[in-house]
Amino acid sequence: MFRATIRFFILFFLIVLYSFRSIAQDGAQIRYQAQYIEVNKNIGNGAQRLIGDVMFTHGNAKMYCDSAYYYSGSNMFDAFSNIFINQGDTVHVYGNTLHYDGKTKQATVLGNVKLVNRGTTLTTDKLDYDMANAVGYYTNHAHIVNSENTIESQKGYYYTREKSIFFRDSVVVINPDYKIYSDTMKYHTETRTAFFFGPTDIISDSSHIYCENGWYNTIKDVSELKKNAWVKNKNQTIYSDYIYYDKKTGNGTAKNNVRIFDHKKDIILTGNNAKYNELTEYAFLTDKAQFIQISEGDSLFLHADTLKTFPDTTGKKILQAYYQVKFFRKDMQGACDSLIYTFSDSIGRMYGDPILWTNKSQLTADQIEMFTKNQQMERMKLNGTAFMVSQQDTNYFNQIKGKNMVCYFTDNQLHRVDVIGNSQTIYFPKDKNEIIGVNKSECSNMKIYIKNNNPTRIRFYTEPKSVLYPLLQAPENEMKLKGFSWQEDKRPKSKNDIF
């Protein structure tokens, strides 16, 4: 019984040992063939010299060369001349020399190295290739061709199974239509999409794109840009935390800290949500939307819930501002429900309870038209229920009222007001800067000349009526015209007040 048990364990051990040796031979040991095999003690390290049509087989890889030294004890070899590695019929590697370690499945190919994987070709002077994971990597510059894209970098990892390449250091992508310069980039060879993980520039004849994180599909010309992103063309530059951009259609979407610069018109649009089209120059902004017209020392700042800009038939810009419009410039401020400004004729139109402040004057009407020239106010039309108020003292206000008004400016200073229809005025004349009375006048039309916000001369047309009261004898109801409303609390005092 004891001997039978011993024989059983010996037989079991031999079966296990044989199975292990078979696995080692078939799964780990390199197999080879050659025209000539030479064993010589002078070669050293127990190496065999293989000459002529040499082929090594390991796993799913076949490796070819003209000659080699094979080290059976360490399961590795050195191969020379006309190196060719074929792994899984999809990865082909060529070179001058090859060192291969069967234990780690690591190959190092030197000299005129070329890796071909389907439609992608990589060339370099040295390539380390991990056959177990199908990953090739280089540390001293490589040149990659994928369809119409040529890519170069100093360092890189090629994941042949995932069909992607990870580039580091001085990455350059050359395409007939653009060039990409990046610090760190991943490229998918099948979708031809580049993913950026560092400062990146995409430059073409018509645009310049920058970001520090994002991706770009080189087939569709579509990109998603993040971190200090901007897109620039000959007319404008868009900055934002996030930009989605379709170069073929010109459409773009931007979110958070959006700034659109119009280089031709010295205009800036800002907001947190924007849509734009590079080709049509259309822009739509919401969420803290702001329009800035740059001028030396006196820029205009305008805010509304929604801003739109687009060109008219002549190519000149149109600005549309909707809901809770407020604007500020040092010499002029305003508020209304909506506003349209056309750059072709430099006319701004205010709708929905418009109010305009200039120096000490407040102007209101059903609708206001502003005519500017060289970014200065030239004249202004107050259409319907026109009312102009100018504060003289804490409790006293010069007032002009009529159906319509036309105000004329010189150097942004109001110097004349033409009142048309149902004209009325109340003003407080002064003597040595002291108010001495109240003058109330009515007629069909008036022409009022103004200096330093005070009437200096008034012309009355058609049946004028006028009365002058000493200040202390003026009736209370004669101090203000019907419809008087002083709205200084709504007036923006700085560019920050428009929000």
Q: What is the pLDDT of residues 157-195, one digit of tens each?
A: 999 999 999 999 999 999 998 999 999 999 999 999 999
Q: How confident is the model at residue 16 (pLDDT cuts 50, 70, 90)?
A: very low
List the one residue out of 352, 357, 347 whose CA is nearest residue 387: 357
Residue 264, both tokens: 């031709």
Q: What is the pLDDT of residues 334-374, one digit of tens each?
A: 999 999 999 889 999 999 999 999 888 899 999 999 998 88
Q: Among all chains, which residue has been given the structure tokens 């590079």?
A: 278
How many structural domains comprise the chain?
A: 1
What is the amino acid identity at position 479?
M
Segments forming the whole domain that contains residue 165: 31-349+462-492
Positive or negative torsion for Cα 35, 39, 42, 46: positive
In a domain, 77, yes or no: yes
Q: Among all chains, which residue has been given the structure tokens 């019907």?
A: 482
Global pTM?
A: 0.78
Determine the average pLDDT of the residues in 239-254.
Answer: 93
Question: What pLDDT score does 291 carry?
Answer: 94
Torsion, Cα 477 335 493 382, to 10 degrees, reads: -60
Average pLDDT, the chain: 88
In a domain, 293, yes or no: yes
H-run or E-run covering 401:
strand 397-410
In a domain, 356, yes or no: no
From CA 308, how far away is CA 246, in angstroms rounded?
20
In a domain, 416, yes or no: no
In a domain, 469, yes or no: yes
CB atoms within 10 A of CB 50: 24
In a domain, 235, yes or no: yes
Question: What pLDDT score does 20 carry?
Answer: 33
In a domain, 302, yes or no: yes
Distances (CA, A) of 22 to 16, 27, 28, 29, 126: 10, 8, 10, 10, 35
From CA 351, how far away is CA 134, in angstroms rounded?
68
Question: What pLDDT score does 374 carry?
Answer: 80
Residue 375, both tokens: 């970014």
Question: What pLDDT score does 7 carry?
Answer: 42
Q: What is the pLDDT of residues 326-338, one digit of tens each?
A: 999 988 999 999 9
In a domain, 47, yes or no: yes
Beta-carbon contacts of residue 19 (< 8 Å; ≥ 6 apart): none
pLDDT score of 154 more than 70: yes
Residue 119, both tokens: 């439609």
pLDDT score of 5 more than 50: no
pLDDT score of 296 more than 80: no
Strand partners, 273: 255, 286
pLDDT score of 26 more than 70: no
Question: What pLDDT score does 44 carry?
Answer: 65
Q: How confident is the model at residue 281 (pLDDT cuts 50, 70, 90)?
A: confident
From CA 328, how far away is CA 4, in angstroms rounded?
106
Residue 249, both tokens: 């259609």
What is the amino acid identity at position 388?
M
Beta-carbon contacts of residue 297 (< 8 Å; ≥ 6 apart): none
From CA 388, how far away is CA 363, in angstroms rounded?
4
CATH number at residue 323: 2.60.450.10
H-run or E-run covering 2:
helix 2-23
Q: Is 476 helix (H, G, I), strand (E, B) or coil?
A: helix
List the one residue out of 219, 174, 160, 218 whose CA is nearest residue 194: 218
